[in-house]
């Protein structure tokens, strides 16, 4: 089970996620309680070993803004959240970063349909921590896809059983308040997700 921990903003939590075995770590560089500047993301990304994917998360920014932030931060993947057109992915193809498309269940759920490398199927309101009907997407997405939206250490096993994803992505479920990550919850989530696989 591939596990992404998203919305990190403190070195302590980056270190915990790496130590506990995260496969990917997300830095939110768009409007959010978890927002970090590209410069801050660069400081955090520098703490992450090569085998863990660093992901810059964007929503609604134009490709040139995304490109500039990706280059400053040095993230190895770019996640476009929500209703980005296919052209935004095409425009970023030459950036040399993996592309992640994050959408809700109403979207095209074929990984690769927008030339992305990874797909995230999320709740309608990203980063809200609200669980949704995970079972409704079972069997619909294809390729390398992660389930997100309202996951936490206590429910990730149920979510994995319901939707059968290739991976999982969490943010609010490893926080004690919006934007405030918790090391014990990060470790607990990784343990529970691995057990669920
Ligand atoms: O986390 C945010 O605040 C956010 C804001 C705008 C666009 C995307 C955002 N998060 C992206 C993620 O990949 C989250 O991990 C995913 O939405 C799951 O969130 P949660 O339900 O809080 O676990």
Q: pLDDT tens across 158-186, in order?
A: 999 999 999 999 999 999 999 999 999 99
**What would the two tokens of residue 4 be?**
């992404």
| Residue of 101, 120, 148 with the most ligand 1 atoms within 8 Å of its CB, for mutation | 148
pLDDT digits (tens, 9 = 90+) for 88-107: 999 999 999 999 999 999 99
Q: Chain-wide mean pLDDT for the chain?
A: 96
**What would the two tokens of residue 104 be?**
């809700």
Q: What is the pTM of this model?
A: 0.96
The closest alpha carbon to 3, from 120, 98, 115, 108, belongs to: 120
Name all domains of the chain by residue range, CATH numbers in brackets. 2-196 (3.20.20.70)
pLDDT digits (tens, 9 = 90+) for 20-68: 999 999 999 999 999 999 999 999 999 999 999 999 999 999 999 999 9
Q: Residue 126's pLDDT band (boundaries 50, 70, 90)?
A: confident
Sign of CA dihedral 153, 155, 157, 160: negative
Nearest CA to ligand 1 atom 19: 127
Residue with tokens 């990784």: 190
- Ligand 1 atom at shortest distance from the alpha carbon of 102: 13
Positions marked catalytic: 6, 122
Question: ipTM of this model?
Answer: 0.97
Neighbours of 115 (CB within 10 A): 12
CA of 171 to the centre of ligand 1 (A): 6
Q: End-to-end CA distance of the chain, in Å? A: 5
CA angle 4, 197, 56 (to 5 degrees): 10
Per-residue confidence (pLDDT) for residue 125, from 0 to 100: 87
Residue with tokens 């979207």: 107
17 three-class SS: helix
């Amino acid at each position: 089970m591939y596990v992404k921990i998203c919305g990190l903003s403190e070195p302590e939590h980056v270190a915990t996620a790496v130590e506990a075995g995260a496969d990917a770590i997300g830095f939110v560089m768009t409007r959010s309680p978890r927002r970090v500047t590209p410069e801050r993301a660069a400081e955090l990304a520098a703490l992450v070993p090569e085998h863990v994917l660093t992901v810059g998360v964007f929503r609604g920014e134009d490709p040139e803004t995304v490109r500039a932030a990706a280059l400053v931060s040095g993230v190895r993947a770019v996640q476009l959240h929500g209703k980005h057109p296919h052209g935004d992915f095409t425009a970023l193809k030459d950036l040399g970063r993996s592309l992640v498309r994050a959408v809700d269940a109403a979207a095209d759920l074929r990984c690769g349909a927008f030339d992305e490398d990874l797909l995230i199927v999320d709740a309608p309101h990203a980063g809200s921590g609200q669980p949704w009907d995970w079972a409704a997407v079972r069997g619909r997405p294809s390729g390398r896809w992660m389930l997100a939206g309202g996951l936490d250490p206590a429910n990730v096993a149920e979510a994995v059983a319901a939707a059968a994803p290739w991976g999982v992505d969490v943010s609010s479920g490893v926080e004690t308040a919006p934007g405030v990550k918790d090391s014990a919850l990060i470790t607990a989530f990784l343990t529970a997700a691995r057990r669920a696989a």
